Structures are given as C-alpha cells and as structure tokens.
Structure 1
C-alpha cells in the first residue's frame, strides 16, 4: 500500500494577507508571475505533489480571491480569517477542514510563495512519515540578517528564533526559517490550540508550534530546501525578483528539454507555455498565456504570442 493511501495530505494555503506594501487594489496573491497569479503557482505545486485535499484561507473582503479559486481550484475549500491575528490564527480559520482530516499530513503553505515546488512539499511530507510531529522548511543564507533562525541540536529543531530576539551567537546561524511547515494530522489541532499570544503583537504565531511540540516531547525536525523555493512576495521589488527567478528556471528547463534559445535572456515565458523538442526561439520573444509550439517550429525575433498553437508548417514571425 502506498504512502499516499496511508498518509493522505491536506494542504492549507494561507492567503489572507492584505498586502499593503504592494500598494495596489489587487489582492497580493493575485499579482502575476509568468502571467499566473502567485496563488495559482502554489496551487500548481500542490497538484503536482499529488495532494488530495486543499483548503485556502482568505481575508475579510477576499471575494476576488474566492472568485479566482472557483475557476482555478473548484475542489478547494475556502475559509475566511475575519481578523488578522497571526499565522496560527489564520490556520485555525480552517478548523473544519483540520477536524475532518484526522490522519496523515497537514502542509501549511503561503499564497504569496510562487516558486515553491512539489519536491519541497514531498520532502516535508516524508519527514512526517518518518516520525516528525512538526517539520519546518529551512534554507541556508549567506546574508541571514532579518530571517528567523532555525536552532537545531542533535538533529532536532529546538526553536525558531526571530532575529530581533536572537543572541549574538544565534545570529551567527545561517539556517533560516522558510515559513512552510508540515504537521502530523493527529497532533495538528492539539498543537494549534496550545499556541498563545503573549508577544508584543498579541498575535498567534504558527512558529510557536515548535516550542509547544518540543515541550510535549514530540519530535520536531528541520528540512533543508532551496531559498528560492520559499521566497515570499510582499512588495513590487520582491515580485520582480520572483519573476526573474521564474523566467530563469523556465529558460533552463526549456533548453534541457531540447528547445533552442538563441538569446535566452530575451525570451519570456508564461506559466502555461508548452514547447516541444526541436523548437528554435530567436531573440526577443514573449509568450503570453495559452501558447503551445510543436516540434520543428522556428519562432522569429520580436514575436509576441498569445492563445495559439504553432505547427511546423512554417516559421512564425511577428507579423503572423
């Protein structure tokens, strides 16, 4: 019997943030990378990881996000966090889904992390299957300054220390909190209900699940992932950074799959672009949504394509 049968998985995507630093009327998680909303990338990673159940927590006034989910993920359950009282509070907004999911794994993701991949989700899930009650994604950074530190001892994650609260020795740690977390379903609600709000913000922080689990003698582990995988988008500069990394990944994947890019840095892809092997793309080409290109096609320089399929009958030029 497979792990997925024995360890069914619920992904809860937290998408209630107001995104004030984006300075936009558009909800933060609906801003695009590769012409796909940030939230859409997270949903795609969840689907690619074979996660069976999905819940999304939106904020008060999150009708636009809910409408997007009706189209992009109609099977997802949508819950509302009516007051912004921290990440643990946001997760508890999906209490009904958590109560129904009593066995297996709960993965807690963020709707503004568009670069997360199925491999990261599987690694967190594997840590839970192998015995952890809580698994936290972490990354190594040469400039860890503002990030929370993961304090690991004898292979166990003992604490997550925010940079402002860290000692001088703890600030030397380069293993940083990536935010994404996995919890065993049979412990999840028990841990969440024991998280308090005795802090400067009077909020309920999901990171405190580490302290609660350790205090109860439950095993807690850190799973090392790539920093880009857990990159969050909070402002336009970070949105630009995410777009740059996304495009770099897609260019490399295209070339590894047999596509020729004459000037790779000048070609821009959408998340749903489909290219067959032996496609050749000349400089300064932009793929809008809904484009697929069959093998043998040459896309001429300065083309912009959208909602089309190109067959190998002729070279495509910007005038086509």
Structure 2
C-alpha cells in the first residue's frame, strides 16, 4: 500500500527573525526538513510531498537533489489548507502521513507505528503528555477514554486547558477519508484558519477509531519556533550522540562539549577531549586519541593514532600509529600510512605519505607521493600549481629534504637522495644523490649599513 508523506514546510517562521525559511535552519549541521525527509524515507513505498510557501525558491534549491514533489501553498490559511494542496497528487487508495518540517527529530519507528494504524482503517494520532502544555492543542477524550476532538488553546475552555495530553500534529490517515474530510473544514475559529485537527471530531462522529501513539521522548516531537528552541533541541540531540559514543566505547572528557554533525563509528578505548566537532561519516578505530579543538570530517582514523589539538582533517585516511598535529590541516585526498607523522602548522592535500615518514613542521605538501621513512624538513613546500595546472611531486624512500626547500612539480626525487636546505628543485634527483640548488653566498667587508636621515 502506498504511503504519501506530506511534510508541511510553508510557514514563514517570523520568530526566527531570519531571511532563511525556518525549516532550513540546522540541527547538527543538517536542515531540519532534511532530518524529517531522511527518517521518512525509511517508510516502505513512500512518496514524499513537501508543501512550500514562504521562501519557496530557497527550499527548492536546498532540496533540489531530493526525490520528492513540491507543492506550493500560495496563501497560508492553516494546516488543513496546507495538506489539501497536496491531495491532487496522492493515491486515494493509500495512506497519508502528515509531518512537519520544523519538527526534526521524529523517528522513523514512530512514523511506521502511525502508518500501521492507518493501514487497518483507523486514524493514527501522535500525542504527548507535557507538564506545561501551554500553546498546544488539547486532546479531548470521552468517558470511555476514546479521543473525540482536539481543541486549540485559543479556542479551549478553562476546563479543557487543564488537559496535559496534547496534539503533536503528526498523524496518519486513510487517504480516502482525508479526501472526504478536508473539504468540510471551516475557518470559523479564533485564528480564522482551516485546522487539520478538526478532522479528529469528524472521525469520531463517523465512528472511525482514533488510536493514539506516544513518542519515545518529548524532544522527538518538539517543534522549533525561535532560535532559543533551536539551541535547546541542538544540545539535547548532541547529548544523545555523546551518550551513544560512550556506550560504544569512547571516553569523552565532557559529553556537553562534543558535536556530532553526521555519523561517528568508534571502536573501544577511544578518547575524545573537549570541543571536538565531527562532520559527515567518521570512523575512529581502537585506541584513537583526539585532543581538544579538533574538526574531523568524512575521515577514517586508524588504531592508536593521536590527533593533537587544533587539527582539522577532511576527507582523509589516516593509518594506525600516526601522529598528527597540533595545528595541522589535513585536506581532502590525504593518506597517511602506518607510523607517519604530520606535525604543527603542516598542510597536506592529495598527499600519500608512506610508512614512518615525517613532515614535522611548517610545510605544505600537495599533490605528492612520499615513500617510506622519508623526512621533510621545516618550511618545505611542493610547488604543485603553475597558475593553470596541478602537477605531481614524487619522493622515494628514506629521502631527506632539507629545511626551506621548494620542490617545483612535476619533479621526482629518488630513494636515498638528499636535498640541501634552502634548495629550489626543478629537475629530477636520482637515487642517493645530493642536490643543492641555491644562490652562492657572498660576504662583503667594509659594507656601510644605511643610517636614518636627519
């Protein structure tokens, strides 16, 4: 049976005080609406519809690579009106699941429970009990404890306002029933809008059973209306990620000061210090130590490797027993073999660095292949760019590159070779040769040092 998933994302979000549509504000580095889409895709035979309005062009651009259908709500006349805009594109024999682009952390398991209820011909409604239900529509039940209506706060009586079970807005409905009910909605209420919640009373009047489900926790259905709520949800989400890392075998110096903006896989005995940010897919093998203030993105860090403070690693493969940093920048395409060392203020890019080789300080190595047990002296650069094209530098095993050398690519330096400090190398250096390429030193006696003019 087809499930049409309608995600409401047309609101302006004026309380965010932003030119960016509310649903594009990020939790854990990903737009809220993307969180919703990623979870919704776990539902079998799902077709995704995103209702857009304010900032429609920005949303279409941000989600241009997603497999979904955009539905334009030109006037924002309420949630019932928003869902109605998507109805011409849904399967009348299927199920419609209604989600919200500013409620980012609803789990796919919760969604599936509602879909399963609707598949039996019932209405699946997600509700939650709150200590402070202010602002939410109240769930009204009869003497048999069956749901018979939802009353929005502005329309609720004093007695109804005492109810602590509230509506999350998330529901699954047999589409045929939704097609019959939405045209019957009225805007005769305090907001002058077409409330989707009014279909609950219609269902009850027609004998359709309304089965409620509850989320695993309150934050799973927490919506975002301003930046304070966004920050609160971010910190809660990050704490869950930190707890997962610790349960998987990582020691965190402070669980409140680690951010996961993607997925981190850890083996046992990993140590992560404070203010570390992970982005994309990161793998930390057994025994890895991450010192403070590091950023690691889409990378694999091998066993017993130490990443020292203030290091940034992106799209790299770091082998076992390596030593990286502090203040190193490892750019995309870098590969470090076992025991390699990249020290302070070193930048690498598309560099393959062999087993036991060292680039200890203040160097740039880009578009290079370096063999085993080679030492790159301080201040060395591979001149890989001629203003138009990038070229390769090849350095063999057990090479010694003296400090402050410039290797002008394309160039090859054979195994066992030595390059004298301060050299500019433009030609191939054969195995075991010494290359010295620098201006001859001249010392002048009786030289008059300039003096300041009076």
Same-fold call, TM cutoff 0.5: yes
- Partners of 1:289 and 1:299 in 2: how far apart? 14
Deviation at 1:292, TM superposition (A): 0.7
- Give the paired residue count: 308
Q: Does 1:281 align with 2:271?
A: yes
Equivalent residue, structure 2, for 1:188: 178
Q: Is the partner of 1:70 in helix, strand or coil?
A: coil
Gaps of 5+ in 1: 1-6
Residues 237, 61 of structure 1: CA spacing in aligned structure 2 closer, same or farther, 3 A cutoff? closer
Asked if 2 retains the 8 angstrom alpha-carbon contact of 1:179 and 1:230, the reply is no
Asked if 1 retains the 8 angstrom alpha-carbon contact of 2:252 and 2:274, the reply is no
Q: Does 1:151 align with 2:151?
A: no
Equivalent residue, structure 2, for 1:4: none
Q: Does 1:204 align with 2:198?
A: no
Asked if 2 retains the 8 angstrom alpha-carbon contact of 1:39 and 1:114, the reply is yes
The structure richer in strand per residue is 2
Equivalent residue, structure 1, for 2:76: 84
Equivalent residue, structure 1, for 2:451: none
Deviation at 1:8, TM superposition (A): 2.6
- Partners of 2:169 and 2:112 in 1: how far apart? 16
Most deviating of 158-167 and 85-94: 158-167
- Partners of 1:129 and 1:257 in 2: how far apart? 37
After superposition, residues 227-266 of structure 1 pair within 5 angstroms as: 227-266=218-257
Deviation at 1:37, TM superposition (A): 0.4
TM-score by length of 2: 0.64
Q: Is the partner of 1:93 in helix, strand or coil?
A: helix
Asked if 2 retains the 8 angstrom alpha-carbon contact of 1:178 and 1:230, the reply is yes
Deviation at 1:55, TM superposition (A): 0.6
Larger relative contact order (CA 8 Å, sep ≥ 6): 1
Q: Residue by residue, what CA displacement relative to the aligned partner does 1:78-116 show, whole Å, maximum 9, x if unpaired?
A: 111011111111111112222xx1233211000001111
Determine which structure has more spread, i.e. the larger CA radius of gyration.
Answer: 2
Residues 279, 104 of structure 1: CA spacing in aligned structure 2 closer, same or farther, 3 A cutoff? farther
Deviation at 1:256, TM superposition (A): 2.5
Most deviating of 61-70 and 161-170: 161-170
- Partners of 1:245 and 1:61 in 2: how far apart? 28
Equivalent residue, structure 1, for 2:9: 15
Equivalent residue, structure 2, for 1:56: 50
Deviation at 1:61, TM superposition (A): 4.1
After superposition, residues 1-320 of structure 1 pair within 5 angstroms as: 7-50=1-44, 52-71=46-65, 73=66, 75-98=67-90, 101-132=91-122, 134-153=123-142, 154-225=144-215, 226-270=217-261, 272-278=262-268, 280-296=270-286, 297-312=288-303, 314-318=305-309, 319=326, 320=328
Deviation at 1:312, TM superposition (A): 2.6
- Partners of 2:273 and 2:44 in 1: how far apart? 36
Asked if 2 retains the 8 angstrom alpha-carbon contact of 1:60 and 1:80, the reply is no
Residues 28, 46 of structure 1: CA spacing in aligned structure 2 closer, same or farther, 3 A cutoff? same
TM-score by length of 1: 0.90
Most deviating of 302-311 and 32-41: 302-311
Asked if 2 retains the 8 angstrom alpha-carbon contact of 1:127 and 1:223, the reply is no
Q: Is the partner of 1:289 in helix, strand or coil?
A: strand
Residues 61, 54 of structure 1: CA spacing in aligned structure 2 closer, same or farther, 3 A cutoff? same
Residues 169, 51 of structure 1: CA spacing in aligned structure 2 closer, same or farther, 3 A cutoff? farther
The structure richer in helix per residue is 1
Q: Is the partner of 2:97 in helix, strand or coil?
A: strand
Asked if 1 retains the 8 angstrom alpha-carbon contact of 2:129 and 2:164, the reply is yes
Residues 288, 126 of structure 1: CA spacing in aligned structure 2 closer, same or farther, 3 A cutoff? same
Gaps of 5+ in 2: 310-325, 329-454
Q: Residue by residue, what CA displacement relative to the aligned partner does 1:8-62 show, whole Å, maximum 9, x if unpaired?
A: 3111100001111100111111111100001111011112344521110110541
Q: Is the partner of 1:123 in helix, strand or coil?
A: helix
Over aligned residues, Cα RMSD in angstroms?
1.9
